[in-house]
Structure 1
Amino acid sequence: MDEIVKAALKKWPNVPACRGWLALDARGDWYMRDERVQRAGPFPQVKGSRILHDKLREFIQRNYLADEHGAWFFQNGPQRVYVELEAAPWVWRLIAGEGAPAVVSHTGAPARVAEALVDERGRLFLATDLGLGLVHTLDMDSAADAVERGLWAPREVVFAELPARHGYRLSPAGDAAQLP
C-alpha cells in the first residue's frame, strides 16, 4: 500500500466504504461504474467506463487488497472502494519459458501455481500462492502447451462453487449488510 494512502487512513479513519463503483473484468481491465451505469444493470452485463489512464490503473493495482470476508477493494486514500469481480480476484498473464510458464497477475505480482482448474465454460483458473485467478484469454496457447506437456493437469470444477471454495466474493456491493 502506498505511504500516502497509509497516512490518509490515519488522518481520516472513519470514511464510509464505497460499493458498486469499481469493477475488474475477466481480462484484467478496471471499470468505473457511475450511478447511471449501476442503474442500467449488474456487472459484468453492464460494465461502465474502462479505466485507460495508466497512472490511475497503477495506483489502483498497488492498493488492491482483500478484507477478512474475501471482499476485494481498492484503498483510495481513507476510503475503501469495493470491487465487483467478473470471475476472480486475479487475472493471470503467462510468460512462456523452458519449464512451466511464469505466472504474473494483472497487477504485476508474480505467483506460484498450486492447482489448475477448468470450469463448465472451458475457462482455465489457477490456484496460486496469491489466490485464485483466471488465465487471460490471450495466454491460452501457453496454458494449453503447459497442459499438453503435463505441467498442469486441470481438474473440472463448477464456476459457482469457486468463490466460496477459494474465499472471495464476486459482488461485495450485494453483500453490503455483511461488510464493514
Structure 2
Amino acid sequence: MDDIVKQALAKWPNVPSCTGWLMLDRRGNWRMRDEAAQASGSPGVPIRHEALLGFINRNYECDERGQWFFQNGPQRVYVELGYTPWVVRLSVDANAAADDALTLKDQAGNPFEPSAVFADDQGGILFADTSAPPRIAVLHDHDLELFADHAKLADDSLSGEFRWNNGVALALESVRLDDVASRFGFVQSPAAKA
C-alpha cells in the first residue's frame, strides 16, 4: 500500500466505502462503472491512464470476508470481479535459456508462479499460485492456444496436465465455474453481499 494512502487512512479513518464503481473484467482490465453502467449491468469504461492503473494495482487488497478492494486514499472501493481477483497472461520467456520456458504475469505485471491448474466447465483455465494463501487467477482468453501447446488434455478437456518450466507437470483439475468463488474464498460482487 502506498504511503500516501496510509497517511490518508490515519487522517480520515471513517470514510464510508463504496461498491459498484470499479470492476476488474475477465481480461484483466480495470473499468469505471458510472450509475448508468451499474443500472444496465454493463462492465463500464476501461481505465487507460497508466498512473491511475499503477495506483490501483499497488493498492489492491482483500478484506477478511474475501471481498477485493482498491484503497483510494481513505476510501475503500470494493471491486466487482468479472471472474477471479487476478487475471494472468501466459507467454514464452524471451530471456530464458530454454526455448519453451514460460512466464505468467498478473494484471499488474507481477510474476505469478503456478502451483495448480484448473479447467472450468465453460472452458476457462485457472491457476493457483504458490503464495499463502494461494491467489487464484483466470488465464486471459488470448493465451488459451499457448496453454494448449503446453498441455496434454484428456478427451474430456477437463483433465490432463500442463507442462510448466523445468519439467514440472501440473495436473489439470476440473472445477465448476459456479464453485470457483466459494472454493477459493472470494466474493465476486461485494455489492450483493452488503
Which residue, 63, 76, 85 being the options, matches 1:80? Answer: 76
C-alpha offsets along residues 48-91 of structure 1, whole Å, 9 cap, x if unaligned?
A: 11111111111111111111111000000000000000110000
Bigger share in strand: 2
Structure 1, unmatched stretches of 5+, are: none
Q: 1:8, CA displacement in angstroms?
A: 0.4
Aligned equivalents of 1:153, 1:142: Cα separation in 2: 17
Cα distance, 1:100 vs. partner? 5.4
Q: Comparing 77-86 with 32-41, which one deviates more in the overlay?
A: 32-41
What does residue range 56-67 of structure 1 map to in structure 2 within 5 Å?
A: 56-67=52-63
- Answering whether residue 139 of structure 2 is matched by residue 135 of structure 1, we say yes
TM-score, scaled to structure 1: 0.90
User: Would you say the 8 A contact 1:146–1:152 is kept in 2?
Assistant: no
CA distance in structure 2 between the aligned counterparts of 1:73 and 1:140, rounded to whole angstroms: 28
Backbone CA RMSD of aligned residues: 1.5
Q: Which residue of 2 aligns with 1:164?
A: 182
1:95 is displaced (CA, Å) by 2.8
Q: Separation in 1 of the partners of 2:101 and 2:84?
A: 22
What does the per-residue CA deviation read over 1:102-150, in whole Å, with 9 as the maximum and x for residues that have no partner? 2211012212211110111111000112510001112223212221364
Q: TM-score, normalised by structure 2?
A: 0.84
Question: Aligned to 2:83, what secondary structure does the other structure show?
Answer: coil
Q: Distance in 2 between matches of 1:101 and 1:152?
A: 13
Matched residue, 2:14: 14
Runs of at least 5 residues in structure 2 that lack an aligned partner in the other structure: 153-161, 164-168
Taking the aligned partners of 1:120 and 1:75, their CA distance within structure 2 comes to 33
Deviation larger for 135-144 or 69-78:
135-144
Aligned residue pairs total 172
Amino-acid identity (%):
45
In 2, the alpha carbon distance for the partners of 1:146 and 1:62 equals 31
Larger Rg: 2
Spell out the pairing of 1:1-180 with structure 2 (5 A cutoff): 1-41=1-41, 46-97=42-93, 98=98, 101-128=102-129, 129=131, 130-148=134-152, 150=163, 151-176=169-194
Q: Distance in 2 between matches of 1:152 and 1:138?
A: 21
